[in-house]
Amino acid sequence: MGQAAILTVDDDPSVSRAIARDLRRRYGDQYRVIRAGGASEALEVLKELKLRGGRVAVMLADYRMPQMNGIEFLEQAMDLFPHARRALLTAYADTDAAIQAINVVDVDHYLLKPWDPPEEKLYPVLDALLDAWQATGDQELPDIRLVGHRWSEPSFQIRDFLARNLVPYKYFGADEPEGRRLMEAADAGPESIPLVVTADGRALPRPSVQEVAEAAGLSTNPGRDFYDLIIVGGGPAGLGAAVYGGSEGLKTLLIERQAVGGQAGQSSRIENYLGFPDGISGAQLTDRARRQADKFAAETLNTREVVGLRSDGSARTLTFADGGEISAHAILLATGVSYRPLVAEGVAGLTGSGVFYGSASTEGPACAGSDVYIVGGANSAGQAALFFAKYARKVTLLVRGDSLESSMSYYLIQQLAQVANIEVRTRCEVVGAHGDGHLQAITICDSKGGTKATVECGYLFVFIGAEPRTDWLGDAVLRDGKGFIRTGSDLVVNGDRPRGWDRDRDPFYLESSVPGIFAAGDVRANSIKRVASAVGEGAMAVALVHRYLEAQ
């Protein structure tokens, strides 16, 4: 197919010639540099390349072009070459446009004009874009195929795992023709459901999540025995620490038992995160953070559950559920929180079969035309309501409190009020779930009138409370009465440091009762439960780890 192309689009002839010249100087021996004088001309070039079987590695488009601006061009160009990396050329006055491009077309980077000297301002960006493109090429990634039952909890767990880890897959019902063909080819019976067929044709009957992760190419084993910093938990705090730890030269390992991104990664839309005025999905934010961590050589370990923590002299050692161990100079606990189980008759037996914890975005299209109920009054519940309202006939938000004002951000309350098929019901709770094999109805108790009513319901999504994932710690570090990890000044009472503290200093701000063990994000006592604050604490923890290591 010949050399892959780097396409530049700019209606200013002098700028177009200049960037093409700089690109040919650096990349002309490996890539075909093509320049177009406008968006329409560039689209014709891309169509011709597509017909001839060509490949496009990178597209650089000027923002200010007549008839069609750079963002509009990149949106159309993505349909032809979805795997090409995309960058926007902007002037200093157009940084808002660059941010819009990041949100609308998932632009990988934006470049400010002028880019002189190119060795500092152009080539490093292009090198990174080309490296990313070469990692995947311009070919469709082979999909994992999953055969399952619509209302099977094990089938849902695998679908949810693949979706949250951004692993391409195709789902087929066991009663669909393609599902039956895959089962016949694998010589698999009903007892093999869920059945996973890997990209290379291997059949995995009723696989564990770790087996699915390995089949998908996710890393499940560490690359070394000892690290400078190990992070437990891959939510915003953990990802923030991984990016900063890797970028500052620490040998960093992030361990995640389920899916990188945590609860934030499940959010359909985060609209109050700095730098994204049009909002960004949790999956997009997670993917970018994970790519940043990879860029700085921070390792990520998937589907490994940590069950123990101890001190071995100056080392801190973690124990895995399978008995394996891993050690580091310092540990950051960023395990976040989990949604509290809904205690009501029938709920436990229908979990994964109509009752879901978190947004479970894979269920969105299946909710088309149905009545969806959401339990909870915080931001995550509000974001889920907006997401499912796009599919469902009606979404009802069930709130135990008197109003949303005390638990939900103002902007979300305003958005909910503007969506016609969303209803908010306060002072009510679910007291029962009913169904034969899958959820069919729920019983709601209205505390305002003291009445109970059973209503048809095929989907119930639960977002109630937050429980820290710290039971596995035992007495390794001090926790408060609710299980959140105490850190910094919370550990010093009347001038007395925590029992067993062996340093001639007070604990650092994010340090636990054991020197060298830190906590960040939602799992930390008295933390602010917001994505931005979690990311900030993750970054701050790395600075404190450096101080700890320097004093060793």
pLDDT in tens, 111-141: 887 788 888 888 988 998 898 888 776 554 4
Residue 69: count of CB within 10 angstroms of its CB: 18
The phi, psi pair for 254, rounded to 5°, reads -110, 130
Do 324 and 414 belong to one domain?
Answer: no
Do 261 and 363 belong to one domain?
Answer: no
Total of domains in the chain: 4
Do 532 and 410 belong to one domain?
Answer: no
Residue pair 511/487 in contact by the 8 Å Cβ criterion: yes
| Residue range of the domain that includes 51 | 5-136
- The pLDDT value recorded for residue 99 is 60
Indicate whether 247 pLDDT > 90: yes
The phi, psi pair for 313, rounded to 5°, reads 65, -125
Residue pair 464/470 in contact by the 8 Å Cβ criterion: no
Least confident of 28-42, 254-268, 405-419: 254-268
Averaging pLDDT over each range in 324-328, 356-360, 386-390, 409-413, which range is the top one?
324-328
- The pLDDT value recorded for residue 338 is 86
Q: How far apart are CA 263 and CA 129, in angstroms?
A: 29
pLDDT in tens, 506-525: 999 999 999 999 999 999 99
- The pLDDT value recorded for residue 75 is 82
pLDDT in tens, 87-112: 888 875 555 665 655 555 567 787 88
What sign for the dihedral angle of Cα 125, 130, 135, 137?
A: positive
Do 200 and 232 belong to one domain?
Answer: no
- The pLDDT value recorded for residue 262 is 84
Q: Across residues 132-160, what is the average pLDDT?
A: 80
CB burial readout 174-184, b (16+ within 10 A) else e: beeeebeebbe
What CATH number does residue 83 fall under?
A: 3.40.50.2300
Residue pair 374/384 in contact by the 8 Å Cβ criterion: yes
Do 359 and 437 belong to one domain?
Answer: yes
Residue pair 255/229 in contact by the 8 Å Cβ criterion: no
Do 499 and 413 belong to one domain?
Answer: no
What CATH number does residue 449 fall under?
A: 3.50.50.60
Do 43 and 129 belong to one domain?
Answer: yes
- The pLDDT value recorded for residue 93 is 54
Residue pair 333/232 in contact by the 8 Å Cβ criterion: yes
> First and final CA of the chain: distance in angstroms?
56
The answer to whether the bond into 468 is cis (omega within 30° of 0) is: no
Res. 142 pLDDT band, cuts 50 70 90: low
Do 124 and 14 belong to one domain?
Answer: yes
Averaging pLDDT over each range in 8-22, 220-234, 378-392, which range is the top one?
220-234
Indicate whether 455 pLDDT > 80: yes
- The pLDDT value recorded for residue 516 is 97
- The pLDDT value recorded for residue 311 is 94
pLDDT in tens, 528-552: 888 999 999 999 999 999 999 998 7
* C-alpha pair distances (Å), 130 with each of 24, 83, 299: 14, 11, 21
CA proximity to 533, closest of 272, 257, 282: 272
In a domain, 220, yes or no: no
Do 267 and 302 belong to one domain?
Answer: yes
In a domain, 395, yes or no: yes
Do 53 and 114 belong to one domain?
Answer: yes
Do 128 and 154 belong to one domain?
Answer: no
Indicate whether 251 pLDDT > 90: yes
